[in-house]
Amino acid sequence: MLALYQTNAIILLMSIRNRKTLEALLADPVNGNIEWARIEALLVALGCRAIEGPGLAVTFEHNGRRANF
């Protein structure tokens, strides 16, 4: 229950642009025209740390978990 409350609080505190990006990512079907900069801004706003890699590679880290793109 606490996790659900925290999630709702985070969504309420998001900027409108980040909220719209999240809605676009959760839509079915997902819009394939979402700009990468908007996705990156959303992840950073949610507390992820962006780590630039070689070339176009980016790793996002949050609480010890990593996602590579």
What digits encode the pLDDT tens for the residues 4-14?
Answer: 445 566 666 78
pLDDT at 60: 96
Question: Which among 56, 34, 30, 33 has a CA at the least distance from the CA of 43?
Answer: 34
pTM over 0.95: no
- Tokens found for residue 57: 């590679």
What is the distance between the alpha carbons of residues 25 and 34, in angstroms, rounded to a whole number? Answer: 8
Q: What percent of the chain has pLDDT over 90?
A: 55
Q: Is 30 helix (H, G, I), strand (E, B) or coil?
A: coil
